[in-house]
Amino acid sequence: MIAVFRRVRLVQVRFCSKIVRRLSRIPSAFIVIRSIRELPVFRSLFGALLGHNRPFATLDAASASIARYVKSGHEHRENLELHMLLAESARPSDYPALFHIQTILSQIRSVFDFGGNAGNLFYGYSRYLELPQSFVWAVYDLPKNLDAGARLAKERREARLRFTENFADAGEADLFIASGSLHYFEKPLFSIIAALKKKPRYVLVNRTPLTAAPTFATVQDLGSDKLFSCMVYNRDEMIKGFEQLGYMTVDAWQAAELSLIIPGYPDRSATSYSGMFFRQKN
């Protein structure tokens, strides 16, 4: 009975979220929704109707809202297979990233792929970039993904790939890449990199939701059992954080193939994901 109730609850949340999402596109209706969601009397009811499809103060709170519905996450085999499938061809947001990597390729000899799954980005980008055999592409991720990646690299006889659970290895890289992974960490990337004794010369961020709203947590609801808690960072804070760390923003672009629309909160939604390229000032 509990399992049935949870399934019914998930259907209800998604149905109500769909209705509220559609109403939020109507300016006059959104004015009403915005008023209701801020009223103490209706705030709890509004939150109950939307369930996990709403803003949260912390990543833990967002994760707790979906814990009863999903038992697996980023280490699930289906998730790994999906990432490998997507890497078979470049997506629109890959081209700005490839362009900037190409311009610095003669200056770099190593990459640290933050949240790189099983090395899917390496396999995808190596189709477009001439990476020498001496090149080192280190992937940092969860243990099961690293094990799967190591097995796949051995099968493909790919010696340029390395797999590590040690974040300190990022200090040895020339280029730090966070593609489709940054928003799964509660601590902002500039704070994470600040902990390194030696910092990478270049940082490339791609496919992450950024907005003008204050940073918050929410849930990516991709249907079925695909629910992932994530962060939505403030764009200006991201840029300022890197500038204070000694980086300058070389470029920024939209990853228009991805979006994160929060029902009832279009003012806090990411209508498209973002990409940025930073380099050290000196």
pLDDT digits 0-9 by tens, 182-230:
999 999 999 999 999 999 999 999 999 999 999 999 999 987 778 899 9
Residues 176 and 239 in one domain: yes
Quote the pLDDT of residue 21: 93
State the pLDDT at residue 224.
76
Residue 122: closest CA among 83, 164, 178, 161: 161
What's the pLDDT at 82? 62
Residue 158 sits in the same domain as residue 85: yes
Dump pLDDT digits (tens) for 44-72.
888 889 999 999 999 999 999 998 877 65
**What is residue 282's predicted lDDT score, i.e. its pLDDT?**
76
26 inside domain = yes
Instruction: With a cut of 50, list the residues of the chain below it in pLDDT.
Output: none
CATH code at 111? 3.40.50.150
Residues 37 and 81 in one domain: no
Please check whether residues 38 and 111 belong to one and the same domain: no
Q: Are 31 and 85 contained in the same domain?
A: no
What local confidence, expressed as pLDDT, does residue 87 receive? 65
Q: Identify whether residues 102 and 136 lie together within a single domain.
A: yes
Residue-number span of the structural domain to which 198 is assigned: 77-280
According to the model, what pLDDT value does residue 106 have?
94
* Domain membership flag for residue 58: no
Q: Are residues 40 and 152 in the same domain?
A: no
- Same domain (yes/no): 143, 231: yes
How many structural domains compose the chain? 2
Is 64 a member of any domain?
A: no
- Based on the domain organization, do 135 and 185 belong to the same domain? yes
User: What's residue 179's pLDDT?
Assistant: 95
Residue 3 confidence (pLDDT): 73
Do 20 and 138 share a domain, yes or no?
A: no
* One domain for residues 31 and 81: no
